[in-house]
């Protein structure tokens, strides 16, 4: 039997209330997005006056619908929402996504009353509600996207539960550029009914999801939240950005989604106990969640650094130290093995620094193999793989002198990276890439596509290793 929330993420049919033939309204844009992403099931519209909305079957009220759809998208004025929910409930629809704002978050008695009425109406019919005051749900495996933004790229392995709609929608371009996809993403809004606790319960059993990311402003019930988080953490990694912890963050959160933030009982220690990995920047939430979904955790704090560049190595080392990880000096035996792979000006003690050297095979295969098979590290960061962007820059330099064709060199590098990836996957340790090139570079794209996490800076790479270490500590604790 599917999970009660499954209709939100894998609906077979949908009713839309609030779309019309006027493309400038939010409801219409959301409907067009559903059509654009080729939602495969039937879509029915409810509209008082339109005969048909963009060619879809359209009805005056829920009572006239030919079937009870799995879910409904509601984008009508707040005062009409409870009545619409009532109609849908009578027709037999069991879930609804309420985009409309103007409820509890207003801070007025009328707003609170309307939200209570919404919830009570839904409960009467056994309906579950996402929202109100949200941007909706994106579920790429189901081709289901109720937001105004087109989803970019393939489905990913990260699910996001967010008390901000922006972190579900305005980021899609940013995430798409990095190749970081969602399995599911839910803008929770006021969480009048379905809240982050329900979301954790659903995602724990969701096979499309490899890791759960949360953006949290406030927690309705600290104890229930931590219990749900712990249950979910036992199934898969959970990472959170929690902004309601400071007085200032709590005040702003309250006016945003009416969240009861800053509850003193939800602090870092409790988060760790529940297996929640914490980050403090939104970029780190996406980056760490992606890493947690694609690589094994760090089983201990020891990091190996493999680099062609001393500055990033020093930055990585300093960040390792500040984040409470360790940079062990390699044993004489391992250093002797590395010595033949590193030029005389390089170093072998950890970092392994090959300096500005073009021997990509030593850099990305032989040294990686030696380090990750040594038993001396629990994870590694590789800074500086070189691919098409560097090679093209070089070609521009020598281009007016020579006819230079990068294709064979890129192909050769790709083959080396495939071997590097093979070693990393077989090694069972987390390895992350740091480089100032994004997915536009052939080598970074190759690592990324194979599931090796890639970061645009040394510090961000270490931040994700720290998340993998936090995850590893939790796994050790709950399995022993």
DSSP secondary structure, 223-251, as one string? HHHHHHHHHHHHHS-EEEEE--SSHHHHH
Instruction: Quote the least distance from Cβ 69 to its own copies, whole Å.
Output: 22
Nearest residue (CB) to its own copies, 29 versus 235: 29
Nearest residue (CB) to its own copies, 286 versus 474: 286
Q: What is the spatial distance between Cα 321 and Cα 273, in angstroms, rounded to a whole number?
A: 23
Pairing of strands 95-98, 128-130: parallel
CB distance 183 to 206 below 8 Å: yes
Residue 194, token pair as written in the block: 């379905």
Q: How many alpha carbons lie under 13 Å from residue 359 in its C-beta half-sphere?
A: 14
CA 335 to chain centre: 38
Nearest residue (CB) to its own copies, 233 versus 443: 443
CB distance 198 to 161 below 8 Å: no
The values of phi and psi at residue 401, to 5°, are -100, -40
Instruction: Quote the least distance from Cβ 480 to its own copies, whole Å.
Output: 29
CB distance 216 to 242 below 8 Å: yes
- Other C-beta atoms closer than 10 Å to the C-beta of 480 total 5
Q: What is the spatial distance between Cα 122 and Cα 85, in angstroms, rounded to a whole number?
A: 6
Instruction: Quote the least distance from Cβ 301 to its own copies, whole Å.
Output: 12
Q: Which residues contact 288 (CB under 8 A, 6 or more apart)?
A: 213, 239, 277, 279, 463, 464, 467
Instruction: Quote the least distance from Cβ 123 to its own copies, whole Å.
Output: 25
* Residue with the two structure tokens 């996406």: 286
Nearest residue (CB) to its own copies, 230 versus 443: 443
Instruction: Quote the least distance from Cβ 223 to its own copies, whole Å.
Output: 23
Instruction: Quote the least distance from Cβ 312 to its own copies, whole Å.
Output: 6
CA 372 to chain centre: 27
Nearest residue (CB) to its own copies, 246 versus 449: 246
Instruction: Quote the least distance from Cβ 124 to its own copies, whole Å.
Output: 26
Nearest residue (CB) to its own copies, 201 versus 283: 283
Instruction: Quote the least distance from Cβ 262 to its own copies, whole Å.
Output: 10
Q: Which residues contact 371 (CB under 8 A, 6 or more apart)?
A: 304, 306, 330, 334, 338, 352, 377, 380
Q: Which residues contact 253 (CB under 8 A, 6 or more apart)?
A: 163, 217, 218, 243, 244, 259, 261, 262
Instruction: Quote the least distance from Cβ 426 to its own copies, whole Å.
Output: 28
Pairing of strands 211-216, 431-434: unpaired
Nearest residue (CB) to its own copies, 314 versus 423: 314
Nearest residue (CB) to its own copies, 35 versus 235: 35
Q: What is the spatial distance between Cα 418 and Cα 477, in angstroms, rounded to a whole number?
A: 35
185 in helix, strand or coil? strand
Looking at residue 192, the DSSP 8-state letter turns out to be S
Instruction: Quote the least distance from Cβ 21 to its own copies, whole Å.
Output: 9
Instruction: Quote the least distance from Cβ 41 to its own copies, whole Å.
Output: 19
Nearest residue (CB) to its own copies, 70 versus 353: 353
Nearest residue (CB) to its own copies, 169 versus 209: 169
Nearest residue (CB) to its own copies, 7 versus 432: 432
């Amino acid at each position: 039997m599917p999970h009660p929330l499954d209709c939100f993420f894998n609906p077979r049919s949908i009713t839309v209330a609030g779309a019309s033939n006027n493309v400038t309204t939010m409801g219409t844009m959301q409907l067009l997005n559903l059509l654009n992403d080729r939602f495969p099931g039937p879509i029915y519209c409810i509209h008082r006056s339109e005969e048909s909305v963009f060619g879809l079957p359209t009805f005056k009220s829920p009572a006239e619908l030919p079937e009870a759809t799995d879910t409904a998208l509601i984008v009508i004025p707040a005062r009409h929402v409870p009545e619409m929910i009532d109609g849908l409930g009578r027709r037999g629809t069991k879930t609804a996504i309420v985009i409309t704002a103007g409820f509890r978050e207003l801070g007025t008695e009328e707003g609170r009353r309307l939200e209570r009425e919404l919830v009570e109406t839904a409960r009467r019919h056994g309906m579950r509600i996402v929202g109100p005051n949200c941007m909706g749900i994106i579920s790429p495996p189901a081709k289901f996207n109720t937001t105004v933004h087109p989803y970019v790229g393939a489905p990913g392995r990260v699910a996001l539960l967010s008390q901000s709609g922006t972190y579900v929608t305005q980021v899609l371009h940013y995430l798409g550029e990095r190749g970081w996809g969602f399995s599911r993403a839910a803008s929770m809004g006021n969480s009048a009914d379905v809240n982050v606790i329900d979301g954790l319960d659903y995602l724990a059993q969701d096979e499309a999801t490899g890791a759960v990311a949360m953006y949290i402003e406030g927690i309705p019930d600290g104890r229930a939240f931590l219990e749900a988080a712990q249950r979910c953490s036992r199934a898969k990694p959970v990472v959170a950005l929690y902004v309601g912890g400071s007085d200032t963050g709590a005040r702003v959160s309250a006016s945003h989604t009416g969240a009861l933030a800053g509850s003193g009982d939800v602090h870092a220690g409790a988060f760790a106990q529940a297996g929640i990995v914490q980050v403090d920047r939104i970029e780190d939430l996406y980056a760490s969640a992606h890493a947690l979904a694609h690589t094994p955790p760090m089983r201990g704090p020891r990091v190996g650094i493999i680099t062609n560049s001393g500055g990033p190595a020093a930055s990585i080392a300093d960040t390792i130290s500040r984040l409470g990880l360790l940079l062990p000096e390699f044993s004489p035996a391992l250093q002797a093995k590395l010595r033949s792979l590193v030029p005389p000006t390089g170093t072998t003690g950890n970092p392994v620094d090959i300096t500005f050297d073009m021997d990509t095979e030593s850099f990305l295969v032989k040294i990686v193999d030696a380090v990750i098979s040594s038993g001396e590290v629990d994870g590694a960061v590789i800074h500086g793989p070189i691919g098409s962007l560097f090679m093209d820059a070089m070609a521009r330099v020598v281009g007016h002198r020579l006819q230079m064709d990068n294709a064979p060199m890129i192909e050769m590098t790709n083959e080396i990276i495939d071997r590097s990836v093979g070693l990393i996957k077989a090694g069972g340790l987390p390895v992350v890439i740091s480089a100032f090139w994004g997915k536009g570079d052939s080598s970074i794209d190759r690592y990324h596509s194979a599931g090796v996490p890639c970061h645009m800076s040394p510090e961000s790479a270490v931040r994700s290793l720290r998340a993998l270490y936090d995850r590893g500590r939790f796994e050790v604790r709950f399995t022993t």
